[in-house]
Structure 1
Amino acid sequence: MCNAVTERHIVAAVREGATTLRHLRRDLGVTTECGRCARCAHDCLRSALAEHTGTPEASTPVFARPIFPLALEAV
């Protein structure tokens, strides 16, 4: 991903309290450039949250609206 953010960074951020893509943007710089990493970062976030809370991903609650560049919102 951009800014050398890896899945391990996202897992660590979740352990420190991150629960939304907005938190990842603030803490790790995810989606601050072109936004192409948003889908991958969001998927990694959901997976890390499911693992951290011990719940299946399908039952993970709906998060606050993620920050996507306008070009990606229509996708």
Structure 2
Amino acid sequence: MIVCVCRHVNDKAIAQAARCGASFDDIQIDMGVGTQCGQCESAARGIWMQCSPSQSIAQISRGPTTESATYT
């Protein structure tokens, strides 16, 4: 689906760039997403966040770490 109508950028292009490790700033510079009218920025960021390698499921659903665990 087209995310950025002004620059004709679709969700697949944003997702692919995110999976390759591009920051959202990189995507804006390379593709122009969110730089003209700005209406697509929140949708584009959402796609980027879902597909970014730094947003793995293990990090999101991780339980308490040893630093935060209380031992008795």
For the criterion TM > 0.5, the same-fold answer is yes
Q: Structure 1: give runs of 5+ residues left out of the alignment.
A: 60-75
Equivalent pairs counted in the alignment come to 55
Q: Which runs of 4+ in 1 moved over 3 A?
A: none
Is 2:34 aligned against 1:31?
yes
How do residues 52-63 of structure 1 correspond to structure 2 at under 5 angstroms? 52=53, 55-56=56-57, 59=60
CA shift digits 1:11-32 (9 cap, x unpaired) = 2212333122x11110111011
Structure holding more helix per residue: 1
Q: Percent identity?
A: 25
What RMSD over aligned residues (CA atoms) do the two structures have, in Å? Answer: 2.1
State how far apart, in whole Å, the 2-side matches of 1:46 and 1:23 are: 13
**Secondary structure at the counterpart of residue 23 of structure 2:** coil
Structure holding more strand per residue: 2
Answer whether contact 2:49 2:55 (CA < 8 A) is retained. no
| Bigger Rg, which one | 2
- TM norm structure 1: 0.60
State how far apart, in whole Å, the 1-side matches of 2:34 and 2:45 are: 10
Q: Structure 2: give runs of 5+ residues left out of the alignment.
A: 61-72
Q: 1:33 to 1:15 in 2, by over 3 A?
A: same
State how far apart, in whole Å, the 2-side matches of 1:23 and 1:53 are: 15
State how far apart, in whole Å, the 2-side matches of 1:48 and 1:11 are: 6
